[in-house]
Amino acid sequence: MEKKLYDAVGNEAGNLTVSGSLFTQEVKKFLIYEKIKNELANQRLGTACTKTKGEVRGGGKKPWKQKGTGRARSGSTRSPIWVGGGIVFGPRPRDYGYQLNKKMKKLALVHTLAYKLQDSECVKIVKDFTIESAKTKDAYALIKKVNQNKEERTLVIFNNEDANLKRALRNIPWVKYMSADRLAAHEMFYAKHIIIMEGALKKIEEKYGAFAQSN
């Protein structure tokens, strides 16, 4: 299958032959949903915490004697029914994360990739590039040219870890980046523009192409 190849400034630079398995995959959206839900749950901090009656400071003295006052019995000013008292059944620190089985995770990434790759307006395959200066202004100018001057949510997928490129991209608020070895369904699904470097696409095809054909 032939796909358009672009240079680092968004101009057409010929065609690239790619395997058709990812581009013709029938997309199952429930898999994408499960993968995104899993990624967001694993990122959730779960640090919300309230104090119980036994953890709130004070309340050691009985507020009034047990009998003879006409008031209800009370043993502590830190009871949950008092202002400033403990909280009953409040949130406690917990881990919201859970595991998907390996095959489902891989298959979900395949379907997310296929869903975005089949949208020719969203995805651009670009020749491998770097930002030698590691400056944000250079990366900003380059990404805007590739996106046709649109400042919309953009994901850059590169082949190898590139410290200069990551440093240049990380301060642009509407740009995210990731390696072809560590794809995230959440970032891919919600990106308005995906810039995939030529080397990264080859690695993705090697890793997921055969799996897409067999499933």
| Dihedral-angle region of residue 32 (phi above 0 means left; psi in -120 to 50 means alpha; beta otherwise) | alpha
CATH 3.40.1370.10 placement within the chain: 2-45+100-214
Four-residue CA torsion sign, 196, 200, 203, 207: negative
Give the CA angle between residues 30, 173, 45 to the nearest 5°: 55
With bands split at pLDDT 50, 70 and 90, how would you rate the model's confidence at 140? very high
According to the model, what pLDDT value does residue 57 have?
Answer: 93
- Quick one: CATH architecture of 2-45+100-214? 3-Layer(aba) Sandwich (3.40)
Q: Which amino acid is at 73?
A: R
Give the CA angle between residues 114, 119, 120 to the nearest 5°: 120
pTM exceeds 0.95 for this model: no
- pLDDT above 70 (res 215): no
CA proximity to 77, closest of 68, 67, 85, 65:
85
Which 8-state DSSP code applies to residue 76?
A: -
Top mean pLDDT of 4-8, 182-186, 203-207 is at: 182-186
Q: Which residues does 129 contact at the CB level (< 8 Å), separation at least 6? A: 8, 142, 165, 197
CA proximity to 32, closest of 146, 149, 118:
118
